[in-house]
Structure 1
Amino acid sequence: MPKQVDHEERRRRIAEAVCALIDAQGLEGVSLRDVATRAEVSMGAVQRCFRTKEEMLLFALGHVGERVTERARGRLVGSPAQSAASTVGHVVGELALLREEHRAEARIWLSFLAAAAVNPALAAGLRNSYADLEGLFTRLLAEASGAPDPEREARTLLALADGLTGHVLIGHRTTEEAEELLHAHLAGLWGPTGAAAGR
């Protein structure tokens, strides 16, 4: 059993190295040698953890997605008394990666997104992540807004949040402008009072 724990810890360590390299150089700058150096392990250790570079990238994609999703779920657990409307506002704010402290995650996520356009395996991984997020938003919106089609609204909200991530990252929108757009959209779902609660 200890060997399995060590193995999983090493995989996470390698995933963190992959993410750091993507943040610094983009996905094209990730090589097995650089990952090994960054993770402070041997090339053989990387290859024992992951049979191929693609397998390593898929694990890293899942790793960063889990990190963001867990932070969003933490908002749900940390504020159980808040309204469903404010919960949606907080969660979508986390997932949109708009704040300065989340810029690295935004760069990593969008690097994976661009690569997925020509890599079917990465595309499948991203589709799974988006499906999970849509399910979360659908449940929250069904509780919060009473919308006749919470699944459609969840898709719209996820697309808006994802698009704003890129707009903020390239400087087309400020964080404040992006947050205002999100809150304006939420106001259309359950009115200004509920949207204000999500701030």
Structure 2
Amino acid sequence: MPKKVDHEERRRHVAEAVLRIAGRDGLGQAKLRDVAAEAGMSLGSVQHYFTSKDEMLRYVVKYLGETVTERIVAGMGESSGRPVRAFLLSMAAEMLPLDERRRAERRAGQAFTDLAVGVPELIEDLRQGDRWLRERVAELIWQGQRAGELRPGLDPEREAVVLLAVIDGLAAGLLPDIREPRQALDAVRYHLDRLAT
């Protein structure tokens, strides 16, 4: 009986190879042949799942967004009964490049953002991910206000934008080791404490 192949699992396997290459060597090195070697597959197998590098990269952008989102959503599920500030801090830690996996994801994300300039499909994927995250953070801030944990006069939408900008700015300093992980987390904690009642 022929072996049943999970095509989506194979596509994710290729995406993981792209993320490893992008995190280690930069997205420019993620040529189909190099991706195939990293994934332990033949070039023909990779081309079976992705007809072009652009198609592969569009898939990886979505996969990367889904992977980080899944971890954030899992944290939301575990956050019931936890203070909103504690959850927002753990969300920030998930988004900051604090270990090799998150460093690779952040480098790949930056590379995809640069690549997206002039590619409407990629820009729209990035916009959707940003919109989803911003809305979730604003919702959490609003919940913190309702619970009396965060100041009532805050504008949740604007505070969500500011918090995400703080995380992005700290990440930019973490990647080249200009900033230390503890310093970045302390800065997020300090910012969240300023929102408290």
TM-score (norm 1): 0.84
Counterpart check, 1:134 vs 2:134? yes
- How many residues are treated as equivalent by the alignment? 189
Distance 1:78 1:8 in 2: 28
Pick closer, same or farther for the CA change 1:158–1:147 going to 2, 3 Å: farther
Residue of structure 2 aligned with 1:149, choices 155, 158, 169: 155
Give the equivalent residue in structure 2 for 1:184: 190
Shift of 1:107: 2.1
Counterpart check, 1:164 vs 2:170? yes
Pick which of 132-141 and 114-123 moved more.
Answer: 114-123
Q: Percent identity?
A: 37
Contact 2:96 2:102 in 1 (8 A): no
Pick which of 39-48 and 124-133 moved more.
Answer: 39-48
Give the equivalent residue in structure 2 for 1:196: none
Distance 1:147 1:53 in 2: 48
Contact 1:147 1:189 in 2 (8 A): no
Give the equivalent residue in structure 2 for 1:74: 74
Q: Secondary structure of 2:68's match? A: helix
Aligned-residue RMSD, C-alpha:
2.1
- Aligned partner letter, 1:151: E
Shift of 1:99: 4.4
Shift of 1:26: 0.5
Contact 1:27 1:115 in 2 (8 A): no
- Aligned partner letter, 1:160: V
- Aligned partner letter, 2:190: A
Contact 1:141 1:147 in 2 (8 A): no
Give the equivalent residue in structure 2 for 1:31: 31
Q: Structure 2, unaligned stretches of length 5 or more?
A: 145-149
Contact 2:92 2:167 in 1 (8 A): yes
Give the equivalent residue in structure 1 for 2:45: 45
- Aligned partner letter, 2:176: I
Instruction: Please identify which structure carries the higher helix content.
Output: 1
Pick closer, same or farther for the CA change 1:105–1:42 going to 2, 3 Å: same
Q: Secondary structure of 1:190's match? A: coil
Contact 2:138 2:157 in 1 (8 A): yes
Superposed CA deviations along residues 16-56 of structure 1, whole A, max 9, x for unmatched, are 11111112210111111111222222222222212321111
Distance 2:119 2:180 in 1: 31
Superposed CA deviations along residues 155-190 of structure 1, whole A, max 9, x for unmatched, are 111111112111111122111111121112112211
- Aligned partner letter, 1:31: K
Distance 1:176 1:101 in 2: 17
Pick which of 73-82 and 154-163 moved more.
Answer: 73-82
Give the equivalent residue in structure 1 for 2:147: none
Distance 1:19 1:101 in 2: 9
